[in-house]
Amino acid sequence: MRNKSLRVNIGCGPNPIPGWLNFDNSLSVRLAAYPVVVPLMDRLGLLEEGNKRMIHISQETPILWTDAACSIPLPAGSVEVLYSSHMIEHLDREQAQSFLKEAHRVLRKGGIIRLVTPDLRKMAEEYIRHGDADELVAKTLLATPRPKSLREKIRFLLVGYRHHLWMYDGPSLARLLLEAGFSDAHVFGPGQTLLNEPAGLDLYERMDESVYVEGHKGAS
């Protein structure tokens, strides 16, 4: 897999990038390989519309399952670009650090990581303008209703916790990259990038709510 042009999308969700190696840790990716099981789970009410959409996409487009907070199943130094959009906020602090160490390991020297995540600064500024604390808490997705019914509890056991576990602004995410060993980190606006060839990457993805941070793996 030592390919200088290897580009990897971690936590692709229902938006795999054509020509890239796409990974996700959704149960739906695994269920896509067992089409006989899917109708049964659907009849039991264990699948939401998002799950069914993800299963369909995974059956149509190659998506590999991995828990990137534990391991990215690629050789060290094999990746030119690693992209992850609206994924890292679903990891707790320790998991995020572990993910970035894995990202650093698989990137080649001079390789680029690009992270997109909800911008806590934008949320805070909106809160200051409007003063609606309930809206702020709801937008962070840090709070989630407890499962009540048996069906909800089973679904939670199967799917896991899908809300946010940590939030970032540009400087805090850049600092996290530096702590993970990247030689530099830059906060960009929509459409800006260090990449010479975005190769199908949406540089404006969810621009109204997002912050974009990129870093290099140094030569040392």
The CATH number of residue 176's host domain is 3.40.50.150
State residue 111 phi and psi, 5-degree precision: -65, 160
| Residue 130: CB atoms within 10 Å | 10
- Name residue, tokens 């896509």: 32
Assess if residue 148 is contained within a domain. Answer: no
Mean pLDDT value of segment 178-189: 96
211 three-state secondary structure: strand
Position 4 scores a pLDDT of 54
Position 153 scores a pLDDT of 80
User: Which residues fall within 8 angstroms of residue 139, CB to CB, at 6 or more apart?
Assistant: 118, 123, 126
Contact status, residue 100 vs residue 69, Cβ threshold 8 Å: no
Assess if residue 104 is contained within a domain. Answer: yes
Contact status, residue 166 vs residue 96, Cβ threshold 8 Å: yes
Position 172 scores a pLDDT of 98
DSSP H helices in 24-84: 27-31, 37-43, 49-60
Contact status, residue 11 vs residue 24, Cβ threshold 8 Å: yes
User: Which residues fall within 8 angstroms of residue 109, CB to CB, at 6 or more apart?
Assistant: 77, 217, 218, 219
Give the structural domain span for 74.
7-25+66-121+166-216
**Nearest one of 147, 206, 182, 174 to 13, comparing CA atoms:** 206
Number of compact structural domains in the chain = 1
Assess if residue 170 is contained within a domain. Answer: yes
Dig out the tokens for 50 from the structure: 């998002």
> What is the band of 148 on the pLDDT scale with cuts at 50, 70, 90?
confident
Assess if residue 17 is contained within a domain. Answer: yes
Separation of alpha carbons 192 and 203, rounded Å = 7
Assess if residue 131 is contained within a domain. Answer: no
Assess if residue 55 is contained within a domain. Answer: no
| Residue 160: CB atoms within 10 Å | 11
Position 199 scores a pLDDT of 84
Give pTM, 2 decimals: 0.92
Assess if residue 158 is contained within a domain. Answer: no
Assess if residue 157 is contained within a domain. Answer: no
